[in-house]
A and B are shown apart, each in its own frame.
Chain A
Amino acid sequence: MTLGAGILAMLRGAALVVLVVITLFPIYWMLVSAFTPTGFSRQITGFLPPEITLRNFTLLITERPMLRWLWNSVLVASLASFLSMMVGMFCGYALSRLKFRGSYLILVIVLASQMIPSTSILVPMYALFRDLGLLDTIQGVVLGHISLVLPLAIWMSKGFFDSIPPDLEGAARIDGCSRLSALWHVAIPLAAPGMVAIFVYGFVTSWHDYVFPKHFVTTQDLWTAAAGITSFRGEYFTLFEPQLAAALIFALPVVILFFVLQRRIVSGSLAGGVK
């Protein structure tokens, strides 16, 4: 019995180790490739880089407009996410607090628009933007990204308002606030941590997408980092090492943000106000 239990525990431990290795190995390999001298990842025979170099990272700045792309990403992601949050907040509030006919239908529409394949939006949007002269502009990319972010912002803010007791707004209304100022001065400040989470989610969604910027924008200086990273095919072959160095820089801020805000995103909505 105890021997069997011991073997079982060892098997579980071994399975856990295998899972952890499978999970971490691609990330490890990204680090190895990013720090291997350009062109040398083909010659790796073991599981370590032959020598460690930072040249792939400096190459990004000297040979490619990586800083410019990162800045464009910040711009596009901030705009798309902030606008979606501001607009989505009101809809989320209405869906959470107000009883009106058709609210279930609106919920269905919002969720459906979040779940439909983005290529089905990309194609007609490209045709529209071609007619409207919005191709090759940052504004076009922001609009495209709002289509990815807004449904999520509505959906999430509904959830956050659901988790805030309506009593405080009721109290404010008794004190003479209109419904709008009760929303503005009571509900939204209470939901502020949730709004941060929505902004972060929207920012990350926009930051990660390469499909809209890559295909709406042809001027390389207007690309976001995501679009830029996918274009590392050299004249003769793909420049893997600088590409993975770029991918590392690109993924790192989001990974860090993700873990700093992990708890907050999951459970942050009740912090502050009521407890």
Chain B
Amino acid sequence: MLQEVTGDQRPTTRLGRWRDALTDGPAFPLLMIVPPLLVLGLVIGVPLFKAVLLSFDRVILTRPQLAGQFTFYNYAKLLSDPSVWAAVWRTGLYMLGTVVGSIALGLSAALLTRRIVRWRGLARTIFILPWSMPALVAALVWGVMYDANFGVLNRILALLPFEIGRVEWLLNPNTVLPALIVAQVWNEFPVAYIFFLAGLQAIPEELYEAARVDGANGYQQFWHITLPQIRYVMAVIVVLLAIFGLRAFPIIHLLTQGRTETLTVKTFNAAFRQFDFSYASSIGILAVAVSLVLVLIYLRLTLRQDGSAI
């Protein structure tokens, strides 16, 4: 009924037809897609494009006479700059450390709490708590704990039976990277915990029952049932945490005032310490390129070709 009525009321003016095409017809996807993409282009596309332009120029705030040229100077400098390669190496170590650490803590917490019945909610709340802390707050708290002279960490370690002595956690070049990784792992391991808990709950209990009937001990059950069953979750979480590690900035920047240069910190320092926005942009683009590789791996794992998430 209704349809017939609306059918008779098809607009005849050109404007009306346009409006109909947009709100109800073939152009409807355009109405939905174009405005958001314009905004996304404005806040991300334009800055990225500007970064490309800057990286082929020499915009240095302290030497304005150099600006306005087209040059490969920054990329040549990038390739031959040992501090950039040191930053790449450091970023790799940081990613490795945070991925391994977060998975170890997150998986342990998930394995230890998966079957408890009492206090299940409380356990979950506790292990998610660090994730609700902003990275900047995590950095401040760990900074206070790491302090060599009155930090609580050195006092806790002094309780150990063997002597370690007073460690300048954030100043000693041998301990600064592990110290940063520990702070980051504390902050982000709940992500791994949540993923693993969901993955473990999806394993059918019958598998374990069958294994017990066959006489498999806990260790064998873990290796032959649990690990193979969660390997997909594991792959996703490895890539996700690697992306987090690459993006990491607040904890490193705040705890070492930018002395520990990963790719993100190096990008920042080049721009806001040396005021060389062109060189900073070229490092930033290198970081974007690395992140794109990780994103493509992540997509291969999580998205089917029709765009639906698994």
Contacts and interface: CB of A to CB of B under 8 A. Distances in A.
Contact of B43 (A19, A30, A143): A143
A122 B292 contact: no
Nearest to A83: B39
A247 interface: yes
Interface stretch (A52-60, A85-93, A190-198): A85-93
A59 B44 CA distance: 39
Interface in A78-119: 87-88, 90-91, 93-95, 98, 100, 103-104, 106-113, 115-119
Interface string B29-49: 101110111011011101110
A250 B186 contact: no
Contacts of B134: 207-208, 226, 250-251, 254
Contacts of B29: 94, 98, 100
- Per DSSP, chain A at the interface is helix
Contacts of B133: 27, 251, 255
Interface string A145-189: 011001100100001001000000000001110111100000000
A229 B141 CA distance: 12
Contacts of A20: 123, 126
Contacts of B126: 20, 23-24
24 contacts: A16-B113, A23-B109, A87-B39, A90-B36, A100-B29, A106-B37, A108-B299, A109-B40, A115-B247, A115-B295, A117-B264, A117-B287, A119-B249, A120-B48, A120-B267, A123-B267, A123-B277, A126-B277, A176-B3, A208-B134, A208-B135, A229-B140, A230-B254, A255-B129
B144 A244 contact: yes
Contacts of B305: 104
A90 B305 CA distance: 21
A19 B2 contact: no
B89 to A, nearest CB: 17
Given A47-B152, A107-B307, A98 B32 contact: yes
Interface of B: 2-3, 5-6, 20, 22-24, 28-29, 31-33, 35-37, 39-40, 42-44, 46-48, 50-51, 54, 59, 105, 108-109, 112-113, 123, 125-130, 132-138, 140-142, 144-145, 149-150, 152, 155, 186, 218, 243, 246-247, 249-250, 253-254, 263-265, 267-268, 271-272, 277, 280-281, 284-285, 287-288, 291-292, 294-296, 298-299, 303, 305-309
A41 interface: yes
Contacts of B218: 8
B141 A147 contact: no
B299 A111 contact: yes
A116 B291 contact: yes
A24 B31 CA distance: 49
Contacts of A275: none
A208 B24 contact: no
A139 to B, nearest CB: 12
B23 A258 contact: no
B292 A112 contact: yes
B292 A229 contact: no
A118 to B, nearest CB: 7
A1 to B, nearest CB: 11
Interface string A1-27: 000000010001001100110111011
B6 A29 contact: no
B37 A91 contact: yes
Nearest to B266: A119
Contacts of B130: 23, 26-27
A246 to B, nearest CB: 9
B268 A122 contact: yes
A156 to B, nearest CB: 11
Interface in A249-263: 250-251, 254-255, 258-259, 262
Interface string A115-150: 111111111111110000000000000011011001
A106 B33 contact: yes
Nearest to B1: A176
Contact of A30 (B22, B113, B141): B141
A176 B125 CA distance: 47
Contact of B309 (A121, A159, A240): A159
Contacts of B265: 119
A71 B141 CA distance: 24
Given A106-B33, A123-B268, A174-B3, A115 B243 contact: yes
Nearest to A120: B284
B33 A94 contact: yes
Contacts of B112: 12, 15-16, 19
A269 interface: no
Contacts of B149: 42
Contact of B144 (A118, A126, A229, A240): A240
A151 B127 contact: no
A72 interface: no
Contacts of B284: 117, 119-121, 123-124
A255 to B, nearest CB: 5
A77 B265 CA distance: 25
B267 A147 contact: no
A237 to B, nearest CB: 11
